[in-house]
Amino acid sequence: MPATSAAQQKAAGAALSAKRGEQPRSKLKGASKEMEASMTEAQLEELASTTRKGKPEHKKAG
């Protein structure tokens, strides 16, 4: 499942970094904190590896 916005891709990257032990979990906030707890490393890898080119910064609700 590819990321739908640049913000989602960035949050997945931060969560993946914490899951791998590259940064402390205490530095995570909001969506990245929830992603780290609820997703596997493989799922986070897939979201984080999505290219940001052509993605909106934030997905519009609706």
Spatial contact of 15 and 41, defined as CB atoms under 8 Å apart: no
Q: What is the pTM of this model?
A: 0.84
What is the predicted pLDDT for the residue at 50?
A: 87
Q: Write the Ramachandran bin of 9: left for phi over 0, alpha for psi from -120 to 50, otherwise beta.
A: alpha
Nearest to 8 by CA among 41, 56, 61, 54: 56
AA identity, residue 34: E
Q: Which residue has the higher pLDDT, 49 or 2?
A: 49
CA 13/CA 35 separation, integer angstroms? 10
Instruction: Render pLDDT for 4-61 as a digit per residue (tens, 0 to 9).
Output: 899 999 999 999 999 999 999 999 999 999 999 999 999 999 999 988 888 888 887 7
What is the predicted pLDDT for the residue at 62?
A: 63
What is the predicted pLDDT for the residue at 54?
A: 84
What is the predicted pLDDT for the residue at 14?
A: 95
Residue ranges per domain, the chain?
A: 6-46
Neighbours of 31 (CB within 10 A): 15
